[in-house]
Structure 1
Amino acid sequence: MIAHTDACGCRECLTRQRAREAQKRYRQRRRDGRVKPRRPQPARSEPPAAAPVLLDVFTTPALPGALCRGKHALFDPAEPSDDHRVLDQLHREAVALCDTCPALARCRSWIESLPAHKRPTGVVAGRLITEETR
């Protein structure tokens, strides 16, 4: 594993350094009163009557530290036009990522708490779930 420092010069370190500098400039502008206050967010209305059913299907639990965040392409179910060799490789990578995930236990308990017909397809909690295996 490579130890990163501010003087490393790699892309990751430079990106982090730029982000720190931007945050520093923002804090200074905020202290100086040069930042406009954010607009208040509109109040959320109640969901329509049919929404609870949809929310059950599409609502996933908060899983802090989940390694799958932002990597949905690895976990998506197969499409008819997909090359199965590539898809198998992606799913193997997703399962391997799940095996090292700190949120795996919570993810498994969530997926097992769902009725079979509401479980999402694709790789979930380290398992490949298809329409047939649901």
Structure 2
Amino acid sequence: MPANTIPPSGAPCRVVVCRDCCCGTPKVAGVDHDAQTARLRAQVPVRVSDCLDICEQANVIVVQPSAEGRAAGARPVWLGLVNDPGATEDIAAWVRAGGPGVAPRPEILDLYTVTPPRQRGIA
């Protein structure tokens, strides 16, 4: 195997959950943020992050592709307004299936897809 090739057992697909000033706080009413994070952690690799600078879309979840997904050209997928347990389950199922670049994104998640803050305003 060439030195620059990532073995199939490389980095897994994972989820980054924003939990800071808006996401994961009472500002987003009616959501059990701890339960959402726990449910994701029970199913897929999760990293909790401070503010991802897209507060108007709270709760924000970023699905990072696995090494295999990145090798296929996939980029992280940003999801906003993830305040429904069904959406949480859809995200977890997609990640378990392989996530970006490996498994097709469920069409329902198109409703949650947002533009990352660093890409806004780029023509």
TM-score by length of 1: 0.20
- Kindly indicate whether structure 1 or structure 2 has the higher relative contact order, using CA contacts under 8 Å at least 6 residues apart: 2
As a proportion of its length, which structure holds more strand? 2
TM-score by length of 2: 0.21
